[in-house]
Structures are given as structure tokens and as C-alpha cells.
Amino acid sequence: MDYRFGDFELDSDRRELSCNGEAVRIADQPLDVLIYFLENRDRMVTRDELIEHFWRTAPHGADDRLNSCVCRIRNALGDTRGATQFIETRARVGYRFIGIVEQDKTASWRHIVGRASTLKHLASNHRAIFFGSLLALSITVSVPFVQGALTANAASLALPPLQAYCKKSAYTFFNEGLRDILLADFKNALPPGVVLIKSDTMDSAASGNGHYLDISVRHIDTEALVTVAFISGDDGRVLWTKQYREAMDLKDFTATQQPLSKQIVSEIAAQANLF
């Protein structure tokens, strides 16, 4: 299906987004959500519906991941809250695609017909078949190198600022201190070859091809409830998630931060398959 809106064109079958003919980079999960918006543009899509559809198996922290996902869509489309062209937000309710859309159902068939014509031409040309065989051989030989490059790009872990759900200044210091301790502990515990990145924002952490942590902290009376999600920056998939609860020493935050950090780091570092 081919959708055209403003200067943008989205081919949902080929999973390509472009603006004035130029490719626009967008990760898999934000692209999936954008397609969902377009398919349901005649109505408001609720936040609960999106979380159920895209994050059913990992509900912890899903609100934050949805916010980050919509933010990445807005960035790809150049949409801002002050000048909304495409995605209307209804606070705490959901979203609606409000752009004028032209839909072309024949785009996919044109693509298929074009490929069939190309294949027919190659079949009638023996030299093309010969060079096609050589090309196939070269692709087969080069695949391990390409896969190696992708693995190298993915061997990174970004740690953005922790998401705070308590505005007391003392707890802000707690979160900042916990992040510093996490960075130090991860530096010494990550598998060889994995690069640790200190990201300034959640968006910058999520925009890369490696992995990142989405950590939220809630302070309940004298306890810290920490939710950790290990996420693929390529497509937004939640690869691992867990909640931790630790009693807080209000006179000495490090007495709480250090054991929390060691639990989180040891469990993630032990799962080499995540990287």
C-alpha cells in the first residue's frame, strides 16, 4: 500500500518512507506505529490500544516507550507540538493522524510487475544469467562480512538519564547518583567488545543501531521501585525487562544505589545473548 501525505510517501509493503523522493530514516517499530496510524486515520487511536497491540508482552514501562516511539515519528515527519501537521495528540487519551492522505493500492502491483519484467529479460539473456551467477557467488561470499559489520554496530549499550516519577529534589539526586554508579559498574562488567555510551536524552539513545536501557524510578514511601527495560535501538523490541525494589536509606543514598546497581548490572552482563 502506498500512502502520500504532504511531501511524504510511505510504501508499507516495501517499508520505505521518503520525503520529496529522498529516503527518510526511521526504525522498524516507529514505522509500524506510523502505518497503524495511517490505517486507522478515521478515528482516535487510544494509548491503551497501542500498548496492547505493540507492547502486550512487556507492559512495564510501555507508556514511556510509546512516548519515545511517537516522538521518533514526529522527528521523522518534522512534526512539532507547536505546528502539528500529521499527528494530533489528545493528552492521556491517544493520537489521530490528521494529514490529508492519498492512497494508491496499485503501487505494490506495479512493483511486482516491474520485477517480473526484469526477471523475464534476464531469463532470455544467457550472458545476464552468467553474470547473475557470479553476482550470487559474490553476495554469498560477502554475507559473513556484512553480518559481522552489523554485529559490530549493534555491540553497544546506551544509558540515557533515568526517568523519574517523583519531583522531589532529593530523589532527583538519587536518580543521578544511581546512573553514575550504573555507568561505572557497567564499564567493568560488560562483555568484551561492547561499547558503553552515556546518552544525553532518551531520544538520542533510541536513535542508534545498538541497544539501550530504559530505566524508570518510582519512590514509594521509603522504597525505590526501579523498572529496567533492555531495548533494541534498531526496532524498539524489548529484549529483557525486570523490576527491582530496594529499601531506601534517606541519610545515605549510596547504601541503596550500590546494591541496586550491582543487581541490575550483574543480571544484564550475565546474559551475553542480549548483545
Cα–Cα distance measured from residue 22 to residue 220, given in angstroms and rounded to the nearest whole number: 49
Q: State residue 167's pLDDT score.
A: 56
pLDDT grade for 208, boundaries at 50, 70 and 90: low
Polymer length of the chain: 275
Q: State residue 184's pLDDT score.
A: 93
Q: State residue 262's pLDDT score.
A: 94
Mean pLDDT (whole number) for 93-108: 78
Q: State residue 155's pLDDT score.
A: 77
Side-chain half-sphere exposure of 97, counting CA atoms within 13 A: 21
Contact 4, 104 (CB under 8 A): yes
Mean pLDDT (whole number) for 77-90: 80
* Residue 77 CB burial class (10 angstroms; 0-12, 13-18, ≥19): buried
The letter for the amino acid at 59 is: P
Cα–Cα distance measured from residue 252 to residue 259, given in angstroms and rounded to the nearest whole number: 13
Mean pLDDT (whole number) for 147-159: 55
Q: Which residue has the higher pLDDT, 191 or 273?
A: 191
Average pLDDT of every residue of the chain: 77
Closest CA to 272 of 154, 159, 166, 113: 154
Contact 155, 275 (CB under 8 A): yes
* Residue 6 CB burial class (10 angstroms; 0-12, 13-18, ≥19): middle
Mean pLDDT (whole number) for 212-233: 85
Number of CB atoms found within 10 A of residue 213's CB:
22
Contact 69, 231 (CB under 8 A): no
Q: State residue 231's pLDDT score.
A: 86
